[in-house]
Each structure stands twice: as C-alpha cells, then as structure tokens.
A and B are shown apart, each in its own frame.
Chain A
C-alpha cells in the first residue's frame, strides 16, 4: 500500500529446480495472474546451483517487470549453491543466444556469477517481511532444498506462520531427489500444504500449439515461448503439474480441482509419498475434476500467454508531463492494468 491504492494482491513465492519446462510455464502463468492484479510474483528461486538456469530466470523476471520502475526494482533471483548442478536444458541457453536484427542480444541477463544471485533463505525472509498478514503463498516444484533451508533460517518459520497462507507442492521427480528436505518441509512447514500429484499434470497438459499461435500473437519474442520451443523437438504438449499448482495456489476458491479431506502426507522409506486422512491434518491433496478439464486448459493458455504490458507507475506524472494535454495512449501506458 505504498501510495494509498489499497491492499495489493497476495505475494507468490515460486521455488523450483527447473528440471522441466512445466516450471517455466508456471512462472508465465503467475505473471499472467499478476497482470490481472490477482497476485504479485514476489520472488523466484532456483533450488539447484545452476547459473545458466538462474541467468535465464533473471531474463524472464526482467522481461515481465520491465525497466526498473520508480521505487521498485527487479528482485534478485535466488539460487541454491549446494547440491548438484544437474542438467542444463538448451532451453535456458537458446533465448540468450537470440539476437535482434542489429546483432545485439534479444535478452540480457544480469546474472553472470553466483554473486549476482541472492541467497534463497535471505530472499524468502526479506520478501516475506514485505507481505501483509496472511498475504502470500508458496509454490514448490522440484527439490525442497531451498524451502527446507529457509525453515532453519532465523525468524522465517514465524514469518511464514504470520504472513503466508499455504504451500502448494507440485509432484515431480525432483521433489523426491532430496528426501531429507522433502520430509522436513512436510513435517515443519507452518501453513497448510496442498499436494498436486503429477496425474493432474499429465491429464491436463499445456498445449504446444500456443508457441506458434497465442504467444507470438500476444507478445513477440517471448523468452518462455523461446525456451519451450528449445526444450525438445516441437510440436509437443508439456505435462503441467507446476502450472496446475500455481493456478490452484492463486485461485484456491475457484475449485478447478477436487480437494481431499484433511490428512497427513509422509514419505516412506521407499521414497513414495502417502496420504493418510486425519481430521487434524494440515495437508490436502488435489485430484482431477474431469468436468473442469477444458476450462482449466483454456485458462493455462489465456494466463501464460497473456500480452505482456509494462508495470504500472506508482507516481503521478511529473509536473512537466502533467501540463501536457491528456493523451489517451499515455493513460493506457500509465495504468495498463486498471479494471
């Protein structure tokens, strides 16, 4: 509520190992929802030490947030510096190699080395402090290393309980790659946890046809579309578990998916996750609602491919600008997201 415009939308914290294109689409969907003022993307953190991934995420964040606005900046990309670097898909490199007709890079990343990224736990703490009470939620897609470390960080657990409402976990191979962290998050995360199984992602994939249709029609040279096209040979539809998790995190009340009764999620010694119903449990899990399938897929496309507009300015035009005759085109530029 920086300038008295009312309480802002809730903050979305997205953490992923970015081992699948699914997570990129989830980030695009969150920004689509941000353009509708339904959420604010607080930070995006990478849960493995891969600079190329972090550099790409920096490109995406700068792409959506536009040039630094007055009293605002692009937050640092968080990156875990422990564990394995993991594979680097060509999708993270291809957009950075694209050039404009004049030969200059189409996308520029400010992340060249680890120093250009932020410590995920510190970022979670700092950006949680900027959220209202019960004014944020988390989406986890991949290994839970960053969130587990954040739980151990001074003051974060208390802040989560105070400022956050829920965590949605998208099932993925990565989530089970760091079992101690996954178990810690399931056991200690202070808010309700909603588990989004990968069967939802497989049942409602993200349509690959959007890469040649909706994305370029709405926003030419989109880094997410470029990455999608480079992930594997086109055409293909991408399983979209993280996209479903992100959509549910923001629009819980819309009930696009069926939500189980409360219970308790746990990971056994065999590494498999089980759900035991329990009235006192803080966990729930999602399942597919066949009646909503087409609507949900339509929403994926609409939100993830939404036309990207520059962020609104928070200050009135300077006196010199104000003296000019009103130009409707300027009004659109200044407040593009006003209903």
Chain B
C-alpha cells in the first residue's frame, strides 16, 4: 500500500536564477509507476571518422565474443555487453554516379540513409532516423535529442570534393536541408543541461559569473528538502549523481583556466579543452548525466568530423588522421591508424564504464541503452561502404542479447539496424532509407560467456 506521494519521474531540483537539475531514477519514484513500467530505452551514436583498420576491428571468429580484436581491446572488460555486427552496408554512401567525395557522402547518409546532394550551397539530405524518433518521443524528456561533437562545427564551405561541410560536420538532420549542428563546448552543454531554459537577467548572469558558484549551490534548498524525504539508498544515489555533476563543473572550470594559457591564436572555441581525452571525458560525463536524469533519450556524438585531419600528437602522431588512412598498404602508416582507432575506443570505453557502473532500477543504466559506436567507411584506403564497423553496447532494455558477433548477409542495409532500433525506442516504422527489412538476430538467446 502506498502511503506517501511518489516522486514524479521528471522532478527537478530548482533553484534561484536559471538553475534546474533533473533527477536520476530513484526508488522513491517507483510507486508512481505501474508494475509494468520499465525504465526508458535510450540510444546514442558515437561516430568516428575516416573508417577503420578492419584487420584490427573484426574478430577472426564468430559467435560468443572471446578475446577482442586489438582496436576494441579497451572494451575487453565490457565484452559481455557488446554486440559486434558485421556486413552492414550504406549503399547511399557510395558514389552512385556522383564521383569523388566518399567522406562527405558517408557522414551525410550515415543516419539519414539518403544519397545526399553533391553541393556546397544547395544542401539536401533527409530527416535522420534519430530525429524521427525524437519527434515522436522527444516530448517526454527535457531535450528531444542532444547533438554533440568535438571538432569543427562549420556549416559551410567545401569539406570534401564539392560536398558542403554541412554533410561532414553533422550527424542529425531535422529536415532534408536543416542539420542539427553539434555542441562542442562543454560549458555550453553544461549550461544547456542545467540552466532552466529561461534567459537569465543581466543581474543573474553577473552574479553567477562573479561568484563562480556551483550550480549545486543554486539548488541546495531543494536538495536538502528532497534528501529529507528519501531512504538511504536513494540518498546515496542522489549524492553520487550530484557529485558527478560537480565533477563535470570542476573539469570545465579547470579547462577554462588552462585555456587562458593557450596561444590565443589557436582556432578553438572558449571552454573547449585542448586535450582530446579530457574533452571527451567532459562531454561523455554530461551524456551519462543526461541519460541518467532522463533529460534526453537520444544523443548523437561526432567524435571528430568525417574526413578529419586532426593530428594526434598526444600519441606521438603528428600526421593528420585522414592522410594517414590513405596508407597505400604502407605498414608504418597503417600502424598509426590502428593506434588512433584504438585511442578513440579507449575514450568510449570510459563512457561505457560509467554507464555500466550507474545503477538504474534493478540493473544498470547500460542495460537500458543502445550505444552504437561505428564509422561510415570500413576500409578507409579503399573507401569501402560495406561491412561498416559497428558495435552496439548495451541491451536496449534487455532486448539485445550481447556478448556476440552477429554477421548479417552481405550488402544488408545499415538502415535495417535503424528500423530495428526504432522498434526498441517505441517508434516502429516499416521502412527507412534503403532498408529491406529488420535486422534479425540481435535478440537471439544469450550465449555462455564462461
């Protein structure tokens, strides 16, 4: 028998000014839910550019995941949560009479399943499937979706052989001509997530800037009131959650402080850390919070833009990523690409760890997620658009039975995976892009990983 009023699932800690913090799923919310209600399913796409060294990505075996290939090694502790998918193809990324520009096409078509128009000014793609889902279920969360990235949000100019930068620098498309540019700046993301959404008065802005107070200070009144009503488990969960927010704040403050020592001529937005790993950690920590607090159920993350020529000096690689991937089978260049590929996965593994360690209901946050990590090209030297490197981490609300390598038939459209994911997100459709059916096999009985 319920003797007290349950906490609403979408409760906020509100404070003075613009502050408002969503809450994670707490036991105190449970009575408000019917027994059949489950935690929502979330999905995120982590896109890495310039394809992948496939010899270090694809396992040499099938069935249960055993020792992971070199590139995926950082995910070894979480292999029981990974579904490694083979043979997915994006035909619309191929030239199809449009000539050079595989990078522009592969990112432009990645979530849209559309052959994008080769143009610098007449932008034409299609509504990406994440936005179809966001349009349907987005009203249930504070943000229908979050579009994030770490490099170059230019929306104009030639980024690949006559393809506009709008194609290489965005994953999500609201309409066929309107991409949703990713947020790159951790501070901007933080304020977007934890501001009330209302404009601050000039006085409030001045006060916040002057005292540099934590966002938690602004909601402390509400926090104390809520803590008094919670049981010990929920209190611990709330403490951990608020601590993670504070940690992100500290990271941002640290980065901003560091940035004051950087050569001001550098073309880098204010607040964006110079260090790739630190930048990723900040962004991914906020992604975890956004999922935990059910602020959104859909995130697209452009790790670096397609065709990126970012050097990785922190790894001792001063060469640009993209030029390296045209390695012409030269062992030294191929090795550098493998190192970069693994470095990207290493960052992602940190996010997976966080998701795995976050409790939600009887399981973990990861159980209710589908985190897709992949690229729009497979072999970058040959610019191949088949057997795209794709893994899903998480169980999609206990639908996916992970810990396996699932191989689709050759030439199976990537869009088959998308409509299967749309089913899990509660937005079933019969077709999307060039799909020819649903991707089978994700829900096959689990395998013995012992």
Provide the residues of chain B in CB contact with A153, threshold 8 Å: 436
A190 to chain B, nearest CB (A): 20
Question: Is B228 part of the contact surface with A, judged by Cβ < 8 Å?
Answer: no
Question: Is B306 part of the contact surface with A, judged by Cβ < 8 Å?
Answer: no
In contact, A1 and B410 (Cβ under 8 angstroms)? no
B411 to chain A, nearest CB (A): 4
In the bound complex, how far is the Cα of B46 from the Cα of A62, in angstroms?
Answer: 35
Provide the residues of chain B in CB contact with A125, threshold 8 Å: 91, 434
Question: Is B124 part of the contact surface with A, judged by Cβ < 8 Å?
Answer: no
Question: Is B386 part of the contact surface with A, judged by Cβ < 8 Å?
Answer: yes
Identify which of A68, A70, A121, A130 contacts B96 (C-beta below 8 A).
Answer: A130
In contact, B431 and A117 (Cβ under 8 angstroms)? no
Question: Is A261 part of the contact surface with B, judged by Cβ < 8 Å?
Answer: no
Provide the residues of chain A in CB contact with B95, threshold 8 Å: 2, 130
B419 to chain A, nearest CB (A): 13
In the bound complex, how far is the Cα of B412 from the Cα of A77, in angstroms?
Answer: 13
Provide the residues of chain B in CB contact with A129, threshold 8 Å: 91, 96, 115
B225 to chain A, nearest CB (A): 56
In the bound complex, how far is the Cα of B87 from the Cα of A129, in angstroms?
Answer: 20
Question: Is B407 part of the contact surface with A, judged by Cβ < 8 Å?
Answer: yes
A5 to chain B, nearest CB (A): 11
Provide the residues of chain B in CB contact with A131, threshold 8 Å: 97
B344 to chain A, nearest CB (A): 24
In contact, A1 and B97 (Cβ under 8 angstroms)? yes
In contact, A126 and B99 (Cβ under 8 angstroms)? no
Question: Is B94 part of the contact surface with A, judged by Cβ < 8 Å?
Answer: yes
A155 to chain B, nearest CB (A): 8
User: What per-residue 1/0 map shows which CB atoms of A1-21 lie under 8 Å from chain B?
Assistant: 111100000000000000000
Chain B count of residues within 8 A CB distance of the other chain: 27
Provide the residues of chain A in CB contact with B412, threshold 8 Å: 119, 122
Which of these binds chain A: B171-179, B207-215, B377-385?
Answer: B377-385
Question: Is B5 part of the contact surface with A, judged by Cβ < 8 Å?
Answer: no
In contact, B382 and A118 (Cβ under 8 angstroms)? no
Provide the residues of chain A in CB contact with B434, threshold 8 Å: 125-126
In contact, A122 and B382 (Cβ under 8 angstroms)? no
A126's closest neighbor in chain B, by CB?
A: B91
In the bound complex, how far is the Cα of B99 from the Cα of A71, in angstroms?
Answer: 11
In contact, A154 and B431 (Cβ under 8 angstroms)? yes
Given contacts A118-B409, A118-B411, A126-B411, contact A73 B97 (CB under 8 A): no
A4 to chain B, nearest CB (A): 8
Question: Is B413 part of the contact surface with A, judged by Cβ < 8 Å?
Answer: yes
Provide the residues of chain A in CB contact with B89, threshold 8 Å: 126
In the bound complex, how far is the Cα of B115 from the Cα of A121, in angstroms?
Answer: 19
B23 to chain A, nearest CB (A): 45
Provide the residues of chain B in CB contact with A196, threshold 8 Å: none
Question: Is A132 part of the contact surface with B, judged by Cβ < 8 Å?
Answer: yes
In contact, B408 and A71 (Cβ under 8 angstroms)? no
A95-137 interface (Cβ within 8 A of B): 114-119, 121-123, 125-126, 129-132
Given contacts A2-B99, A132-B97, contact A73 B382 (CB under 8 A): yes
Question: Is B100 part of the contact surface with A, judged by Cβ < 8 Å?
Answer: yes
In contact, A76 and B411 (Cβ under 8 angstroms)? yes
Known: A2-B95, A4-B99, A118-B410. 13 other contacts (CB 8 A): A1-B97, A3-B99, A71-B382, A73-B386, A76-B410, A115-B410, A116-B410, A119-B409, A125-B434, A129-B91, A129-B115, A130-B95, A153-B436
Residues of A within 8 A of B (CB): 1-4, 68, 70-73, 76, 114-119, 121-123, 125-126, 129-132, 153-154, 318
20 A-B pairs whose Cβ atoms sit less than 8 Å apart in the complex: A2-B100, A3-B100, A68-B382, A71-B102, A73-B382, A117-B409, A117-B410, A118-B411, A119-B411, A119-B412, A119-B436, A122-B412, A122-B413, A122-B436, A123-B411, A126-B89, A126-B91, A129-B115, A130-B96, A154-B431
